[in-house]
């Protein structure tokens, strides 16, 4: 998993509340057993004017010019600014996979769907919860072309580039450690590989009939 330390990036504002996981990555694209291949269909029903069909070449489709991610000024954004209850709905882990593959590394919102919030940390995507008035202010600031934010996970702050605004956010200590060090749940477990091997060796000596 890629480490998350400090991100200084362009912000894309998605001014919609209660965005569910089926809107993030529609159900017809969930047929793959891989973790990749979902980015081209992120927000598919909103990004395109034609129906999304698995396997279709995105270059052959009709983009919706009114959707925020299709506007040139937000191309390359790595921070998504969202409204309350982002990621509600089903538990599909494909939602953070799609956001990541599209290029996002952080989502800032007043609140998140619980399962989506957990899945973000498991996959290296940082969900940042700020107070609703703070998020309102950031949406207002996004009217400025090229608006960027600095997200510092170690300091647990979100700041504007000019330093005029800075907000603190809370994050669980274990999740913070995992992201700062690029460790998913398997990586966290493997930190104790020597102890695991020693335990298995003792088990083999104490319960040899289990290994015959």
**pLDDT tens for each residue of 15-46:** 999 999 999 999 999 887 788 899 999 999 99
Domains in the chain: ranges and CATH: 6-181 (3.20.19.10), 184-212 (no CATH)
pTM of structure: 0.88
Q: What is the rounded distance in angstroms from the CA atom of residue 5 to the CA atom of residue 201? A: 38
Q: Which residues touch 94 (CB under 8 Å, ≥6 apart)?
A: 21, 25, 29, 30, 38
Q: Rounded CA gap, 121 and 2, in Å?
A: 11
CA dist list (Å): 149 to 12, 165, 182 = 10, 10, 21
Q: Region of 53 please: left (phi>0), alpha (psi -120 to 50) or beta.
A: beta
Under 8 Å between Cβ of 28 and 53: yes
pLDDT tens, position by position, 75-124: 999 999 999 999 999 888 999 999 999 999 999 999 999 999 999 999 99
CA 210 to CA 29: how far, in whole Å? 43
Q: In this structure, are residues 104 and 77 in contact, taking their beta carbons and an 8 Å threshold?
A: yes
Contact call for residues 126 and 147 (beta carbons, < 8 A): no
């Amino acid at each position: 998993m890629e480490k998350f330390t400090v991100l200084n990036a362009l912000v894309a504002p998605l001014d919609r509340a209660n965005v569910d996981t089926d809107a993030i990555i529609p159900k017809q694209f969930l047929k793959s057993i891989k973790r990749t291949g979902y980015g081209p269909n992120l927000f598919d029903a909103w990004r395109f004017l034609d129906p999304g069909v698995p396997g279709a070449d995105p270059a052959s489709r009709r983009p919706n010019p009114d959707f925020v991610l299709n506007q040139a000024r937000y191309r390359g954004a790595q921070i998504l600014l969202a409204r309350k209850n982002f990621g509600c709905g089903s538990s599909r882990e494909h939602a953070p996979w799609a956001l990541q593959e599209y290029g996002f590394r952080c989502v800032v919102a007043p609140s998140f769907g619980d399962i989506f919030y957990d899945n973000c940390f498991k996959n290296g995507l940082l969900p940042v919860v700020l107070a609703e008035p703070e998020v309102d202010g950031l949406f207002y600031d996004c009217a400025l072309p090229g608006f960027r934010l600095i997200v510092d996970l170690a300091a647990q702050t979100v700041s504007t580039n000019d330093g005029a605004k800075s907000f603190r956010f809370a994050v669980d200590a274990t999740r913070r450690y995992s992201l700062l060090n690029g460790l998913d749940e398997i990586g966290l477990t493997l930190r104790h590989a020597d102890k695991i091997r020693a335990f298995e060796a003792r088990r083999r000596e104490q319960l040899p009939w289990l290994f015959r």
